[in-house]
Amino acid sequence: MRWYHPFLFALDAEQAHRLTIRALAAAGSRTGRVETSPRLANIVAGVHFPNPVGLAAGVDKDGEAVHGFHGLGFGSVEVGTLTPLPQSGNPKPRLFRLVDDRGVINRMGFNNGGLTAALDRLPRDRKGVLGINVGANKDATDRTADYVTGVTRASRCADYVTINISSPNTPGLRDLQHGAALAELLTATREAAALTPLFLKVAPDLEQPQIDEIARAAIDHRIDALIVSNTTISRPPLKSGNAVETGGLSGAPLAPLAAQRLADFRAATGGRLPLISAGGIGSADEAYARIRAGASLIQLYSALVYEGPGLARAIAKGLDRLLARDGFANVSEAVGA
């Protein structure tokens, strides 16, 4: 256990999270610099990533600490999920540590201060890549319209925009992952994004026909990358008392399912779309395994709770060593190798 864990773990999980964001926001770029090297830098979906290690959406929901997270070594920071209107999310408590399992369960419900406040706050002189993750308000009568609003506005200041239709904590949201609803959404948001790269974030709780359908739709509608995947509503065997909580499970228990879905989408897309792997990555070895399995980039979230703020830099440096060991001049050569 790291020295700061007893202090942070004595707090409610959401309180500890807010304290961390405030500290990083105050520190800004003084936290350090983006980790990079010729082996780690890569172009994905037309965007130059200084390294393949990204911060997943859900950590810095309102874009308060972009400089701080880039300073921890992250090559990219994805803020959000942002909705057109502010919303408070689900009732508290809604964030739970599963310490014995090194996992997290959340049922946040897209709590955020809204697009306008976040976009006004985001830095323009950032050192790494900035992604903006957008969603629909819980009470929206036209969810596709909410996504179009989010993509239109976010694309003006983001390096890429992600449409998140895979959170399990907004009722009915995952219904957008199939059929006519998916086609309508992708058509509308692709047009709204214009020249800005558009990513789609999918759930891990999919069967093969759904995976094939999403892969075909993403290719047909010129989606630039898939993020595989969000949290899971499934429950593998868990030891922690908080395992009974409802919501999306992330962290180490998600790793096997996330890795399997990466392989499934790699096969379904035939390598025609860049894939970004998220879920249960907590080491350079695991990150490297995902890259070798077909991920162009990886994203972290829950492992930061247990491994601490040095994780992104440690993974990036570890990846550099692993790539050199295996004779790869650049990370792009290792993708799917």
Active site residues: 167
Which of 274, 262, 229, 324 has its CA nearest to residue 47?
274
Q: Is 179 annotated as a binding residue?
A: no
Q: Is 133 annotated as a binding residue?
A: yes
Q: Is 137 annotated as a binding residue?
A: no
Find how far residue 12's CA is from the centre of its chain.
23
Q: Is 196 annotated as a binding residue?
A: no
Q: Is 113 annotated as a binding residue?
A: no
105: which strand partners?
96, 249
Q: Is 318 annotated as a binding residue?
A: no
Q: Is 106 annotated as a binding residue?
A: yes
Helices 208-220, 179-193: axis angle to 10 degrees equals: 30
C-alpha distances (whole Å) from 25 to each of 20, 22, 60, 167, 294 are 9, 5, 10, 26, 33
Which of 258, 87, 268 has its CA nearest to residue 170?
87
| Concatenated DSSP letters of 95-134 | EEEEGGGTEEEE---S-BS-HHHHHHHS-SS-SSEEEEEE
Q: Is 59 annotated as a binding residue?
A: yes
Q: Is 89 annotated as a binding residue?
A: no
Q: Is 175 annotated as a binding residue?
A: no
Q: Is 29 annotated as a binding residue?
A: no
Q: Is 301 annotated as a binding residue?
A: yes
Q: How many CB atoms lie within 10 A of CB 248?
A: 23
Residue 187 to residue 221: CA distance in whole angstroms: 6
Token digits for 153? Answer: 């506005």
Which of 111, 121, 114 has its CA nearest to residue 59?
111
Q: Is 42 annotated as a binding residue?
A: no
Q: Is 108 annotated as a binding residue?
A: yes
How far the first Cα of the chain sits from its last, in Å, is 35
Residue 45 to residue 225: CA distance in whole angstroms: 7
Q: Is 239 annotated as a binding residue?
A: no
Q: How many CB atoms lie within 10 A of CB 144?
A: 17
Residue positions forming the annotated binding site for FMN? 57-61, 81, 133, 164, 201, 229, 251, 280, 301-302
Residue positions forming the annotated binding site? 57-61, 81, 106-110, 133, 164, 169, 201, 229-231, 251, 280, 301-302
